[in-house]
Amino acid sequence: MVKTAVVTGAGSGIGRAVARALLDEGFEVALAGRRADALAETAEERETALVVPTDVADEDSVKALFDAVRDRWGRLDLLVNNAGIGAAGTVADLSVADWKRTVDVNLTGMFLCAQQAVLLMKDQDPRGGRIVNNGSISAHVPRPASVAYTATKHAVTGLTRSISLDGRAWNVACGQIDIGNAATEMTERMAAGIPQADGRIVAEPTFDVRHVADAVVYLAGLPLDTNVQFLTITATTMPFIGRG
């Protein structure tokens, strides 16, 4: 039986790499993101890709995404809950609007997608599926001036644990991948140097984003009676261990 997946934030970066890797593995993949043109570029005209422009922070938009999956394939085996945004700012200067937007996308968006995925997975035959949440290194420790992003990513860890527990009733496995400095458009600035906890500006190493995609493919290939609860993947010499 062909397996199906939804990848959010599939128009660039980690989401694009993961979506293409799943397509290469024979998955039918719904590509979700805000920009239809970027999603089409990810799809590379593959018939097994379904482009669904989606705002994960909007309940109706998310429901339409999963309705499209149900209409196209009738089931869902994997959700890669990847979409997220950043907002630079400390607790003293971050605007409330930026705080709310970050929470809406990074936390509420993940909840909305997970909810719709579980509703589909628990009623399909055979029952069940897998959810992989993108937690980020910031689910462990913060960078300077990242209060909104860090708070949401810490919250994603709680979301992952709760889904993992609740999902047992429906054969839904949920785990989290925490990624540090995968080489994407978002991390290009790291080569020029970014602020550290001690005030220095330091260039940080990155690693090939394909290794993230390979890790997700590994998780996707596990049977549902086996779960990797948390997986951390970083550049080896990234200043993560010892950060702060």
pLDDT for the residue 243: 58
In a domain, 120, yes or no: yes
CA 142 to chain centre: 18
In a domain, 222, yes or no: yes
Q: What is the CATH number of the domain that holds 169?
A: 3.40.50.720
Give pLDDT tens digits for 213-234.
999 999 999 999 999 999 999 9
The residue range of the domain holding 132 is 4-234
Task: Please tell me the distance from the alpha carbon of residue 114 to that of residue 166, in angstroms, as a whole number.
Answer: 12
Of these residues, 73, 149, 207, 240, which one is catalytic? 149
Q: Which of 54-58, 86-90, 218-222, 239-243 has the lowest mean pLDDT?
A: 239-243
Task: Please tell me the distance from the alpha carbon of residue 214 to that of residue 81, in angstroms, as a whole number.
Answer: 16
Please indicate, yes or no, whether the overall pTM of this predicted structure exceeds 0.75. yes
In a domain, 243, yes or no: no
Provide the H-helix boundaries in the chain: 13-24, 36-43, 59-73, 96-103, 109-121, 147-166, 210-220
In a domain, 195, yes or no: yes
In a domain, 242, yes or no: no
In a domain, 244, yes or no: no
pLDDT for the residue 230: 98
In a domain, 154, yes or no: yes
Per DSSP bridges, beta strands 172-180 and 182-183 are: unpaired
In a domain, 175, yes or no: yes
Residue 187 near residue 217 (C-beta atoms within 8 A): no
Length of the chain: 244
149 is catalytic: yes
Domain count, the chain: 1
Give pLDDT tens digits for 45-84.
999 999 999 999 999 999 999 999 999 999 999 999 999 9
Task: Please tell me the distance from the alpha carbon of residue 68 to that of residue 62, in angstroms, as a whole number.
Answer: 10
